[in-house]
């Protein structure tokens, strides 16, 4: 437990690198998720009715970026405060969106794996076990906060 300065730096640094290549990495993120859990496709409004993951879809990109940005913010909070405190109304909103879309616990592991593979692709040679650990921890804490809100509402 405890998130170090080094870990926060690893997450920040890798996200900075990834920002240069959002279109390709967003696509990669979704591709990984659907490879692991093909049925997840039906959850996303912009994927439901297509055979392929649409290239350069603004909604798809925006969604993928939000997940990365929030995980990055989660890392910063973990370092500063020792816990993830998403603004109350954001958390309530995210809890209800995911609940309503039919997202369940195991999906969070799928998205985590997809996220880690995407960071790995995005940073290339900079990838390390330490970086993986930092992203994992930041994601897990954020996912726990969202799931706690989902459980409250269910």
Which positions lie near ligand ISQ, rule CB under 6 A? 29-30, 33, 63-64, 67, 111
The site map against ligand HEM for 28-47 (x = CB under 6 A) is ------------x--xxx--
Q: Please identify which residue in the block is written with the tokens 């405060």.
A: 81
> Taking Cα atoms as reference points, which of 35, 99, 44 lies closest to residue 66?
44
**Tokens encoding 122:** 């995005």
Using CB under 6 A as the binding rule, whether residue 111 contacts ligand HEM is answered as yes
Rounded to whole angstroms, the Cα distance separating 74 from 86 reads: 8
Considering the complex, state which of residue 12 and residue 112 has its C-beta at the smaller distance from ligand ISQ: 112
3-state helix, strand, coil in the chain (%, to 5): 80, 0, 20
CB of 80 to ligand HEM, least distance (A): 18
Output DSSP code: residue 56.
Answer: T
Rounded to whole angstroms, the Cα distance separating 129 from 104 reads: 28
- Binding piece for ligand HEM, criterion CB under 6 A, among 12-20, 21-29, 106-114, 128-136: 106-114
**Tokens encoding 91:** 């958390």
**Tokens encoding 35:** 């490879």
Considering the complex, state which of residue 48 and residue 124 has its C-beta at the smaller distance from ligand HEM: 48
CB of 30 to ligand ISQ, least distance (A): 6
Which listed option, ligand ISQ, ligand HEM, none, makes contact with residue 45 (CB within 5 to 8 Å by class)?
ligand HEM
> Taking Cα atoms as reference points, which of 6, 2, 3 lies closest to residue 128?
6
Considering the complex, state which of residue 19 and residue 81 has its C-beta at the smaller distance from ligand ISQ: 19
The residue whose Cβ lies closest to ligand HEM is 45
Which listed option, ligand HEM, ligand ISQ, none, makes contact with residue 68 (CB within 5 to 8 Å by class)?
none
């Amino acid at each position: 437990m405890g998130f170090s300065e080094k870990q926060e730096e690893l997450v920040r640094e890798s996200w900075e690198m990834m920002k240069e290549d959002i279109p390709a990495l967003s696509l990669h993120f979704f591709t990984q998720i659907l490879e692991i859990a093909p049925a997840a496709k039906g959850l996303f409004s912009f994927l439901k009715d297509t055979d392929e993951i649409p290239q350069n879809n603004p909604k798809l990109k925006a969604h993928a970026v939000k997940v990365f940005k929030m995980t990055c913010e989660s890392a910063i909070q973990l370092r500063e405060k020792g816990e993830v405190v998403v603004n109350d109304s954001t958390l309530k909103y995210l809890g209800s969106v995911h609940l309503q879309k039919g997202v369940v616990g195991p999906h969070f592991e799928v998205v985590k794996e997809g996220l880690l593979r995407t960071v790995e692709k995005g940073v290339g040679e900079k990838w390390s076990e330490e970086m993986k650990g930092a992203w994992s921890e930041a994601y897990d804490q954020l996912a726990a906060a969202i799931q706690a809100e989902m459980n409250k509402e269910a």
